Amino acid sequence: MFDITQILRELAIVAVPLLAGITLHEVAHGYVAYRFGDPTAKNAGRLTLNPLKHLDPMGTIVLVVTRMIGWAKPVPINPSYFENPRKGIFWVSLAGPMANFGLAVIFYLLFDIFRFMQGVMSAGYADAFLGPAMLICFYGILINIILGIFNLFPIPPLDGSKMLATFLPGRLASQYMSLEKYGFIILILLIFLGVFRGLFSHVAQFVYKLVL
């Protein structure tokens, strides 16, 4: 049975780092594509830090219900604008996960700043403000590392598959990326078989030791 209060409490804590991670991930894809000459994302209004432009309604609902699986609205990319499509696709795909890792570093630095402030502020202010802020930063580190690693998996349509496809011969790359129609099913199976749970539990332990 769902504990609505607990779910809302968890969502309130993870909302900021999750929305920041999803938004920056998609903006990074679109911005790098724009730098390589593709204006598609810019023309679609996707080079914005407004998270509402990047949320997928169904993906958000699934995330709220499962608290495990979710997805954003992919940024539109047109590789025909790239002078070197393979190079462009590789760097555009890598940009999303790297944005998540960079954001994790920012949350880590904020966590350290808040921890320093905790030592000089009175207990009342520290508990009221710094406690929740540090918890948000902790989940900011954890969520963004997980998002970065998850998207590097070579399972279509994840970013890692697009990066790998740029190193494959044309026909083999097409056959490989044709698996995209089965990608969601593959991901669901891996999740419920515990493949990702085992990996990300180690990530959580690493982040916990890193910040505490």
Kind and range of the H or E run holding 207: helix 195-211
Q: What value does the mean pLDDT take over residues 151-156?
A: 91
* Confidence at residue 130, expressed as pLDDT on a 0 to 100 scale: 84
Does pLDDT of 141 surpass 80? yes
Q: Please give the model's pTM, rounded to 2 decimal places.
A: 0.88
Output the average pLDDT for the chain. 87
Report whether 64 contacts 56 (CB < 8 A).
no
Choosing from 10, 26, 83, 180, the catalytic residue is: 26
Cα–Cα dist 153/61, whole Å: 23
168-196: pLDDT as tens digits: 998 999 999 998 888 888 888 887 887 77
| DSSP strands (E only) in 43-185 | none
Which residue, 137, 156, 144, 188, is CA-closest to 74?
156
Domain residue limits at 20: 4-211
pLDDT-derived band at 65, boundaries 50, 70, 90: low
What is the crossing angle of helices 195-211 and 85-120, to 10°? 40
Number of domains in the chain: 1
Reduced to 3 states (helix: H, G, I; strand: E, B; else coil), residue 120 is helix
Active-site residue 26, yes or no? yes
Q: Which amino acid is at 115?
A: R
94-126: pLDDT as tens digits: 999 999 999 999 999 999 998 888 877 766 666
How much of the chain exceeds pLDDT 90, in percent?
49
Alpha-carbon torsion (38, 99, 54, 48), positive or negative: negative
Cα–Cα dist 181/26, whole Å: 21
Cα–Cα dist 86/75, whole Å: 18
Q: Which amino acid is at 36?
A: F
